[in-house]
Amino acid sequence: MSVSIQAVDKQFVGFHALHGVSLEVPSGGLVALLGPSGCGKTTLLRIVAGLDRADRGRVLFDGEDMTAVHARDRRIGFVFQHYALFKHMTVRDNIAFGLTVKPRRERPTRAAIAARVDELLGLVQLEGLGGRYPVQLSGGQRQRVALARALAVEPRVLLLDEPFGALDARVRKELRRWLRELHDSLHFTSLFVTHDLDEALEVADQVVVMNAGRIEQQGTPEALCADPATPFVRDFLDGAALAADRVASPARVAATGPLRLALSM
């Protein structure tokens, strides 16, 4: 399903978050919203989800105007940076939640829900952990539960807000490769927010660079690297190149230093 964002404008008190942003996400695409913190990428994602309201502009799903539709009726999947798992429910109950809250006439039978949960547990490689509670899982496992929970309701579009931001570098690399494979096998449309250029270049087939509430450039990772459209994008890529040089060294954390520096300029 395609997502069309048309001239979306959003202002918070004393802060103009989005300046008439327009963006097309093709059906089946995996698009990254990339930029420094405060650039408006998360706000844009939340507006697509229906968790925030745009002051002006429209959001269309497959040409259908969703602007006034409540988040619960948009049929989207949303994955938070900090998982937002239901703490008091087991992994199984977390994953089944979206199915069990359906109106009675649409709700699958108990057995059908159990079968679907089993299938999803297999998909996110957490077989046997269905009876655990979220606190008993590692960060990477929790994020996979969150993903399975979002996928359970067969969303038309998957929205991910810094999905790997709270994980350590090794798990992050594993998970993003896994997300790419999952995307390729299931063909859903995804829009994900990140401030990590490596992540965007590695996972997405389209990268949208944002800065101060505006889109600086949009294109394939190759096109972006080959021809940065604005000084901001060039600085952003230079910072990442510097970071890439240091990836070889064990101090992966230190590598974000120059990247951050580039971002703040």
Partner 1 sequence: MSAASNPVITETRGVRVLLIALACLFLGVVLVLPLAVVVGEALAKGLGAWWAAIDEPNALAALRLTLTAAAIAVPANLVFGVCAAWAVAKFEFKGKQLLITLIDLPFAVSPVIAGLIYVLLFGAHGWFGPALAAHDLKVIFAVPGIVLATVFVTFPFVARELIPVMQAQGSDEEEVAATLGASGWQTFWRVTLPNIKWALLYGVILCNARAMGEFGAVSVVSGHIRGLTNTLPLHVEILYNEYNFVAAFATASLLMLLALITLVLKSLVEARAAAAARAAHKAREHNS
Q: Which of 224, 254, 256 is nearest to 239 (CA)?
A: 256
Q: Which of residues 150-169 bind partner 1 (CB under 8 A)?
A: 150, 152-153
The residue from 61, 78, 192, 236 that contacts partner 1 (CB under 8 A) is: 78
Q: Which of 1, 51, 229, 242 binds partner 1 (CB under 8 A)?
A: 51
Longest pairwise C-alpha distance within the chain: 57
Total of residues contacting partner 1 (CB under 8 A):
33
Shortest CB 239 distance to partner 1, Å: 30
The reply to whether 192 sits near partner 1 by the rule CB under 8 A is no
Please identify which residue in 88, 104, 105, 187 interacts with partner 1, judged by CB under 8 A. Answer: 88
Least distance CB 159 / partner 1 (angstroms) = 8
CB 65 within 8 A of CB 58: yes
Q: How far apart are CA 252 and CA 243, in angstroms?
A: 9
**Any residues with CB less than 8 A from the CB of 69 and at least 6 apart, and which?**
50
102 sits near partner 1 (criterion: CB under 8 A): yes
Asked whether the beta carbons of 213 and 18 are under 8 A apart, the reply is yes
User: Is residue 70 within the footprint of partner 1 (CB under 8 A)?
Assistant: yes
Please say which residue, 98 or 163, places its beta carbon nearer to partner 1. Answer: 98
CA-to-CA separations, 38 to 34, 82, 124, 144, 216, in angstroms, rounded? 11, 18, 31, 26, 14
CA distance linking residue 8 with residue 251, whole number of Å: 40
Residue in 135, 103, 99 with CA at minimum distance from that of residue 114: 99
Give the binding range for partner 1 (CB under 8 A) out of 45-53, 54-62, 120-128, 255-263.
45-53
Among 63, 73, 104, 249, binds partner 1 (CB under 8 A): 73
Q: Which is nearer to partner 1, 157 or 197 (CB)?
A: 157
Helix/strand/coil (H/E/C) assignment for every residue in 157-195 = EEEEECCCCCCCHHHHHHHHHHHHHHHHHHCCEEEEEEC
- Whose Cβ is closer to partner 1: residue 84's or residue 223's? 84
Residues that bind partner 1 (CB under 8 A): 49-51, 70-78, 80, 82, 84-88, 97-98, 101-102, 133, 135-138, 146, 149-150, 152-153
